[in-house]
Amino acid sequence: MLKTKRFKFVLVAMLMFTMVTMYGSAPIVRAASLESAKDTISDSDLGATANHTIEFDMATQLEQNDYVRVIFDALFNLSTATGTCPTNTTLSTSTTYIQCTVNAGLTLASTSLQTITGVGIVNPGVAGSYDVTITTYNDAGPVEIESAGVKVYILEDVTVSATVNASLTFAVGELGPDSGTSIVNGIPVTASSSSTTLPFGTLDSSASTTLGHSLAVSTNATDGFSVTVIMDQELTSAAGATIDSFSNGVIPVAPTSWAIPSGTLDAIGTYGHMGVTTDDSDLAATFDNGLFDGISTTTPLEVMSHNGPADGSTVDKGLANVAYSIEITDLQESGDYTAALTYVCTPTY
């Protein structure tokens, strides 16, 4: 009996020696490898909250209660993580893994690529390569069926910076029959201007006189621009007589249709007046077709605007026309009248 035991012991020892000789160590039984596996991370920044899309291909179909477990390196934070599982499986999570378990009476096929998503997983705060392991388990035991390890790299975001210089070009141009523009917002332009003058000439009490300017703005301002106009004084003669602002020396609350001055004796503001209109469609609700406003000496009046970058050549997006009309009565005092208009273009970056 003792010889038999010794013989068995020697046989086992010889077998172990042979295996160590062949393999360098005693072989360890491991699960088969998944046919393919990868993890796509939505944000690899340090400490960022990211989503993981894990795709894998199995060689062995999973049956009811079998499961797939995706185990993350311990430096990932899954405390508030959620996710989604393949069809026929149910999600569960822990502080280190996401698991998808096959529902009762169903299977998870090995004939197609499967996807598990992990949502709201916080990355490690240290740059480096980190392991993510995908393993399928037979519920009986449980026993590993297939497994694969993938890696994700966590690193600090790269800051990209650039500067674009602000730009603005504003030009006042001539308008009138000589420039080919004879109508502004439905109002006929009766004479030509220059970029720096509005030469109304000798006024006739029997009709209004209208001149205008073209306004061109080019800018890369994010929120566009606004162009306003203001007068340094009413049109004034050397003797101090004035041609007042439309209408009859009282600027209307809102633009209104052109009206001839009332010419009320001893009410000098009614002897003549000057108004402005614009064809900028951004101000169409204000000026409508052919409406006029008065020009203040204290409050700038907006005559052009746009809500984004402008090229200075596209109508309503950097190009508009304004027209100025003067009409007098026979009571308007004689003399040479002058005033200065100031345009101001204000971009909003």
Question: Distance between CA atoms of 78 and 142, rounded to whole angstroms?
Answer: 23
pLDDT in tens, 273-315: 999 999 999 898 899 889 999 999 999 999 999 999 999 999 9
Statement: residue 14 has pLDDT above 50 = no
Q: Tokens 């308008």 identify what position?
A: 175
Average pLDDT (85-105) is 97
Question: Distance between CA atoms of 80 and 91, rounded to whole angstroms?
Answer: 14
Q: In 3D, which of 173, 253, 251, 181 has the Cα closest to residue 215?
A: 173
Statement: residue 19 has pLDDT above 70 = no
**8 Å CB contact between 176 and 192:** yes
Statement: residue 23 has pLDDT above 50 = no
What per-residue confidence (pLDDT) applies to 284? 86
Statement: residue 21 has pLDDT above 60 = no
What per-residue confidence (pLDDT) applies to 182? 84
What per-residue confidence (pLDDT) applies to 181? 77
Domains parsed from the chain with CATH numbers: 32-154 (2.60.40.680), 168-347 (2.60.40)
Average pLDDT (129-133) is 97
Question: Distance between CA atoms of 113 and 119, rounded to whole angstroms?
Answer: 20
pTM above 0.75, yes or no: no
